[in-house]
């Protein structure tokens, strides 16, 4: 049984989903989705920039998965920021996904403070587009990715509805404590992208030691840590055994001591992309 999380608008989603970044081949996508669905995944996370929405939609159809059984999450890319462009981008993505609604739609990156003096206005306009989509019933929940506290604080000045979700890199060694605390205080659900640090934290000795003592894998320890901290985790894998393993995290619990060790780990790998410093994403 997969735990679920309720957003503040009562929309429920599973606490483990499948990330699809870098899964582009359509046959591989079919194998992955079919295996994931059979293993209990119902949340599938994609993005316009992953260029795999059509492959995902075909895979869902090929596996015969009823639309209402799954939670589809997509993201607006940086080149489509702004009120009208955001609405247009969402409609295009839905067409590719062959659906007339999305369960979750996210702003992929905030406008870079380094590139745009009017970054706050750009984010505000994009967000108005997101709110329109939500009010029109095209998306069941709206959120952001990679927003820091100052992006959210600025958004608060103009937003009618604050994001329900902030999808950020979140894993042992990269806990973004202040941002996560801010989100919790503002009822913004954390969704952990790269919950395995893009696979780069799994050789850490302390994580491996805890894994060994419980009889689980290092990946399962990281994912359990995320879920036990109240976040949604969306590990990406295109390997059948790992897909199954990554959702098999509900038959054990980490102790307070183990949680503390994992929460206090220094940075030991991951992407660590800073939405203020990164300029190539615009």
* Residue 237 contacts ligand A2P per CB under 6 A: yes
Using CB under 6 A as the binding rule, the residues of this chain from 213 to 232 that contact ligand A2P are 217, 219
Burial class (CB in 10 A: 0-12, 13-18, 19+), 223: buried
The Cβ-side half-sphere exposure at 219, using a 13 Å CA radius, reads: 19
Q: What is the dihedral of CA 278, 134, 125, 19, to 10 degrees?
A: 10
Kindly state the smallest distance separating residue 133's Cβ from ligand A2P, in Å. 27
* Residue 190 contacts ligand A2P per CB under 6 A: no
| Per-residue mark of binding to ligand A2P, 17-46 (x: CB under 6 A) | --x---------------------------
How close are the terminal C-alpha atoms of the chain, in Å? 40
Question: In the complex with ligand A2P, which residue's Cβ is closer, 50 or 127?
Answer: 50
Kindly state the smallest distance separating residue 178's Cβ from ligand A2P, in Å. 22
* Residue 172 contacts ligand A2P per CB under 6 A: no
Collapsing DSSP states into helix, strand and coil, what is residue 97?
Answer: helix
Question: In this structure, is the dihedral angle defined by the CA atoms of residues 185, 188, 191 and 192, taken in order, positive or negative?
Answer: negative
Kindly state the smallest distance separating residue 279's Cβ from ligand A2P, in Å. 22
User: Out of 37, 50, 105, 134, which one is annotated catalytic?
Assistant: 50
Tokens of 6: 């309720």
Which backbone phi and psi does 115 adopt, to 5 degrees?
-95, -30
Catalytic annotation present for 83: no
* Residue 238 contacts ligand A2P per CB under 6 A: yes
Q: Summarize as ranges the residues that interact with ligand A2P (CB under 6 A).
A: 19, 194-199, 202, 217, 219, 235-239, 242, 245-246
């Amino acid at each position: 049984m997969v735990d679920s999380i309720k957003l503040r608008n009562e929309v429920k989603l599973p606490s483990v989903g499948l990330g699809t970044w870098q899964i582009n081949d359509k046959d591989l996508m079919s194998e992955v989705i079919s295996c994931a669905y059979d293993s209990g995944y119902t949340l599938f996370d994609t993005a316009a920039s992953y260029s795999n929405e059509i492959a995902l939609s075909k895979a869902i159809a090929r596996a015969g998965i009823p639309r209402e059984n799954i939670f589809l999450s997509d993201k607006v890319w940086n080149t489509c920021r702004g009120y009208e462009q955001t609405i247009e981008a969402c409609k295009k993505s839905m067409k590719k996904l062959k659906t007339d609604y999305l369960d979750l739609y996210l702003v992929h990156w905030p406008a870079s403070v380094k590139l745009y003096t009017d970054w706050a206005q750009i984010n505000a306009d994009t967000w108005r587009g997101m709110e329109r989509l939500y009010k029109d019933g095209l998306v069941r929940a709206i959120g952001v990715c990679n927003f820091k506290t100052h992006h959210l604080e600025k958004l608060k000045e103009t937003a009618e509805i604050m994001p329900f979700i902030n999808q950020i890199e979140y894993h042992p060694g990269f806990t973004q404590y202040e941002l996560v605390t801010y989100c919790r205080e503002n009822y913004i659900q954390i969704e952990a992208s790269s919950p395995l640090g893009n696979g780069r934290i799994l050789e850490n000795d302390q994580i491996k030691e805890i894994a060994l003592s419980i009889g689980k894998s290092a990946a399962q320890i990281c994912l359990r840590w995320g879920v036990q901290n109240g976040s949604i985790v969306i590990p990406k894998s295109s390997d059948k055994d790992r897909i199954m393993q990554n959702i098999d995290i509900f038959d054990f619990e980490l102790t307070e001591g183990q949680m503390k060790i994992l929460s206090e780990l220094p940075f030991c790998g991951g992407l660590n992309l800073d939405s203020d410093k990164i300029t190539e994403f615009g």
